Amino acid sequence: MPAFSASSPGKIILFGEHAVVYGEPALAVPVQTLQARVIVQAVISGTSGEIWIEAPEIDLYAFLDDLSGDHPLRAAVAAVAGEENLDRIPACRVQITSTIPPSSGLGSSAAVSAAVIRAFSAFLGKRLSDREISDLTFEVEKIYHGTPSGIDNSVVVFQKPVYFQKGSPLQFLAIGSPFEILIADSGIAGDTGKAVAAVRDKWLADQEDCGRIFTGIGRLTRKAKDLITSGNPLGLGPLMVQNQAYLRELGVSSPELDRLADRALQAGALGAKLSGGGLGGHLIALPGENVEGVRQALLDGGAKSVLLTTVQG
């Protein structure tokens, strides 16, 4: 029995989270060592419409029909089915596994949705382009985050470094010279929906001040793009420090993330900032020469784990 499988990587946002929701650009890159993987296989003895879902990491074993109407997995399958009635879909088993920690700013929800959409469309014999898969993933992301900017689905579907700005064509980022980033788990679950809502409240209360912050973040992101494409990634350090200061002003950092950033910088990192929605989740650091020293400092500062990734084209 043929199996249809697909996978999508995790991601980090190097610059621009939150401001991207308000029209500023952001930079994000895939993290290939973290993957969501989906396998869809027909169940010959089953009845049409019986779609069995297995997602051991979240302890989910259920028929799709038994999930609530607004469950993201149900939405992902329905998005692929389109006009087709779910009852007419051949019986199948959908296995979902992921090494991307959820609620951590690493794009877990977008990667799972994208892999489900890709594998399920192959199972149904539908050929979807990356653009279509990205657009469908964006629709499912709305269930998770309300008002996603669209950066997560773009980077995990196209699996390339992106320079993303709402309303503009997606730009892939040429990496002039590869560089390493440490990704530290703060041990505190992030909450992107809550963080985005808190920033919205802050913006509604003081649009001028938030506008200053968003514009400042946008300026850093544009400078970062130039440094990355021209092969000068070590110059990103001070920009990361300034980006983190703006994120702290927005109220989306946390004591744990601030402590990790301080420890990384004390150990010689060139820059450090939270990545993703914040309020927990992951910190990223540009380690410069002292990769092992910065990794150890992050662990000593309370990081639950530290991953090294190389940003490359």
Active site residue 152: yes
Instruction: Evaluate the CA torsion angle 64, 128, 82, 34 in order and state its sign.
Output: positive
Of 101, 233, 271, 276, which one interacts with ligand PMV (CB under 6 A)? Answer: 276
Say whether residue 277 binds ligand PMV (CB under 6 A): yes
Q: Closest approach of Cβ 83 to ligand PMV, in Å? A: 28
Distances (CA, A) of 190 to 63, 157, 176, 292: 29, 22, 32, 26
State which residue, 152 or 185, has the beta carbon closest to ligand PMV: 152
State which residue, 196 or 272, has the beta carbon closest to ligand PMV: 196
Closest CA to 155 of 106, 86, 211, 198: 106
- 7-26 mask for ligand PMV (x: CB under 6 A)? ------x---xx-xx-----
> Looking at this protein, which amino acid is placed at residue 98?
S
Q: Closest approach of Cβ 26 to ligand PMV, in Å? A: 7
Q: Are 267 and 290 in contact (CB under 8 A)?
A: yes
Q: Are 304 and 282 in contact (CB under 8 A)?
A: no
Q: Closest approach of Cβ 269 to ligand PMV, in Å? A: 21
Of 105, 161, 271, 301, which one interacts with ligand PMV (CB under 6 A)? Answer: 105
Say whether residue 145 binds ligand PMV (CB under 6 A): yes
> Looking at this protein, which amino acid is placed at residue 95?
Q
Say whether residue 192 binds ligand PMV (CB under 6 A): yes
H or E stretch at 212: helix 207-229
Q: How many secondary structure helices (H) and strands (E) does the chain include?
A: 9, 11
Would you name the residues annotated as active-site residues?
A: 152
Chain positions contacting ligand PMV, by CB under 6 A: 13, 17-18, 20-21, 105, 107, 145, 148-149, 151-152, 190, 192, 196, 276-277
